[in-house]
């Protein structure tokens, strides 16, 4: 397996182009199951998870073509001939977002057999809200042999009022897609309002869907007979932007993030500003640097959007390891999302975990070490720590990063980081 070697101590200087968001592109790709027209998506990142979704859709019979124009990737999907409505265990266990095919398949094809995803490194992550919501739209869903067998009633799904007991990004997306083809009106109450959901809604509207309440926690969808194809540009990846903002701050550098707007990461900017990071809007994006001198410890609690995202919690913790004073970081979305802590401790950080909170006391310096992580964001937090640590950090299990950070090594190296990818078997 490949590894990444980082020699810490260089300040990041330069510009980083932010890619299209993985977590927007995945549901957007699933919209191809809702129409026999062509859905063209621009700015799709080149990531392992996108390949997994491509393979899943291809197995359903969607024709997927990818075109490269410079560094921009366009993916065109045609779901005119759906030949198979099964999402097999092997693909779903690889990537939980595979469950996003459930709603569209039941809505347009009247049936689906989708593997239950099972456990996950960051928490139990059930899909009960997806199932209950679709049942409220009239779907019959049986669970057996590890699969969800779903069937729409004769005549298709029927609009309903779905009041989510808990905010869920994936369940909101599945229900939103399904409701576009249900008869009558659906209301999604206590819906998630992450920008990736607004992006999905915009694409669906481009396909002929009738949706109101974009950006709020109350979506109203009037079902239509059929949807048509469209062209849509994937929204910028706010998590990638936040990660590189923190990488600039931890290395005391200055980086312009190209293609991202302040409002997309407002809560993150507000927290980082308290910690001594400054943001300047530029014609092309956002410039990030330290305001003056040291970083300060700040308390952070993860929340659904517009709050501080759980997908930046690990990176925030890495940032706080060398800040002045203490920082309390509380994770409220997932019950097991502190796997980076033991690895950061190995690099000299001072962190105590008490239940869902971690107390980070800033240290003068981190030292490089061989490290590994069990999920995407934990892995990138170790890269960030490696960028300021004394000596070499070797990150194992690089495939986690390949799932969600496009050209990470190249982007950081272009800003002056000493970072390289070591092919499997290469000497360190």
Give dist(CA 162, CA 168) in Å, integer: 12
Nearer to ligand EPZ, 271 or 322 (CB): 271
CA distance 61 to 77: 10
**Residue number, 113 or 337, with CB nearest to ligand EPZ:** 337
Query: What is the smallest separation between the CB atom of 419 and ligand EPZ, expressed in angstroms?
Result: 21
What does the angle CA 152 – CA 157 – CA 161 come to, to the nearest 5 degrees?
A: 130
CA-based angle 216:221:222, to the nearest 5?
155
The smaller minimum CB distance to ligand EPZ, of residues 56 and 171, is found at 171
Chain positions contacting ligand EPZ, by CB under 6 A: 23, 26, 96-97, 123, 125-130, 166, 168-171, 192, 309-311, 333-334, 376-377, 404
* Distances 149 to 65, 109, 159, 294 between C-alpha atoms, Å: 29, 13, 20, 55
Dist CA 124 CA 179 (whole Å): 27
Q: Which residue, 295 or 382, has its beta carbon nearer to ligand EPZ?
A: 382
Nearer to ligand EPZ among residue 199 and residue 311 (C-beta): 311
**Least distance to ligand EPZ from the beta carbon of 165, Å?**
9
Contact call for residues 408 and 401 (beta carbons, < 8 A):
yes
Query: Which one of the listed residues 120, 203, 269, 415 is annotated catalytic?
Result: 120
Taking the complex as a whole, the smallest distance from the CB of residue 179 to ligand EPZ amounts, in Å, to 16
* Residue whose structure tokens are 């024709």: 63
> What is the Cα gyration radius of the chain?
22
Q: DSSP state, 123?
A: B
Strand partners, 108: none
Query: What is the nearest approach in angstroms of ligand EPZ to the Cβ of residue 124?
Result: 6
Q: What are the distances in angstroms from CA 251 to CA 109, 245, 286?
A: 51, 10, 17
DSSP 154-194: TT--B--EEE-SS--HHHHHHHHHHHTTSBSEEEEET----
Q: CB of 95: closest distance to ligand EPZ in angstroms?
A: 8
- Is residue 269 annotated as part of the catalytic site, yes or no? no
Of the pair 120, 291, the CB lying nearest ligand EPZ is at 120
Measured over all CA atoms, what is the biggest interatomic distance in the chain, rounded to whole angstroms?
66
Q: Are 358 and 344 in contact (CB under 8 A)?
A: no
| Minimum separation from the CB atom of position 361 to ligand EPZ (A) | 26
Cis status of the peptide bond prior to 399, with omega within 30 of 0: no
Active site residues: 120
């Amino acid at each position: 397996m490949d590894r990444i070697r980082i020699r810490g101590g260089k300040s990041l200087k330069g510009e980083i182009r932010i890619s299209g968001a993985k977590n927007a592109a995945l549901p957007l790709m699933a919209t191809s199951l809702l129409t026999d027209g062509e859905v063209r998506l621009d700015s799709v990142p080149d990531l392992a998870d996108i390949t997994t979704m491509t393979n899943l859709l291809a197995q359903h019979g969607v024709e997927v073509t990818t075109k490269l124009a410079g560094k921009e990737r366009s993916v065109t999907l045609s779901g005119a001939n759906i030949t198979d409505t099964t999402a097999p265990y092997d693909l779903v266990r690889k990537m939980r977002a595979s469950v996003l095919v459930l709603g569209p398949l039941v809505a347009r094809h009247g049936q689906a057999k989708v593997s239950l995803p099972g456990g996950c490194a960051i928490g139990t992550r059930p899909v009960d809200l997806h199932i209950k919501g679709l049942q409220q739209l009239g779907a019959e869903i049986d669970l057996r042999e590890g699969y969800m067998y779903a069937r729409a009633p004769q005549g298709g799904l029927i609009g309903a009022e779905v009041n989510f007991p808990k905010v869920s990004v994936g369940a909101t997306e599945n229900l939103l897609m399904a409701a576009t083809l249900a008869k009558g009106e659906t209301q999604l109450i206590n819906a998630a309002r992450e920008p990736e959901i607004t992006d999905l809604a915009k694409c669906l509207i481009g396909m002929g869907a009738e949706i109101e309440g974009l950006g709020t926690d109350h979506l109203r969808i009037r079902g239509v007979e059929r949807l048509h194809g469209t062209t849509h540009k994937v929204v910028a990846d706010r998590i990638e932007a936040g990660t590189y903002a923190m990488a600039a701050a931890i290395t005391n550098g200055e980086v312009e993030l190209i293609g991202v707007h302040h409002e997309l990461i407002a809560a993150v900017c507000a927290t980082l500003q308290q910690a001594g990071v400054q943001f300047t809007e530029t014609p092309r994006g956002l410039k990030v640097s330290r305001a003056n001198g040291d970083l300060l410890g700040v308390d952070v609690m993860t929340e659904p959007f517009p709050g501080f995202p759980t997908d930046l919690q690990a990176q925030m913790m890495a940032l706080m390891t060398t800040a002045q004073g203490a920082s309390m970081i509380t994770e409220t979305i997932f019950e097991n999302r502190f796997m980076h802590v033991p690895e950061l401790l190995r690099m000299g950080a001072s962190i105590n975990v008490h239940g869902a909170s971690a107390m980070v006391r800033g240290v003068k310096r981190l030292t490089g070490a061989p490290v590994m992580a069990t999920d995407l964001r934990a892995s990138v937090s170790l890269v960030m720590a490696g960028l300021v640590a004394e000596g070499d950090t070797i990150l194992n299990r690089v495939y986690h990063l390949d799932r969600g950070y496009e050209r990470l090594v190249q982007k950081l190296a272009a800003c002056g980081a000493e970072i390289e990818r070591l092919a499997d078997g290469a000497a360190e």
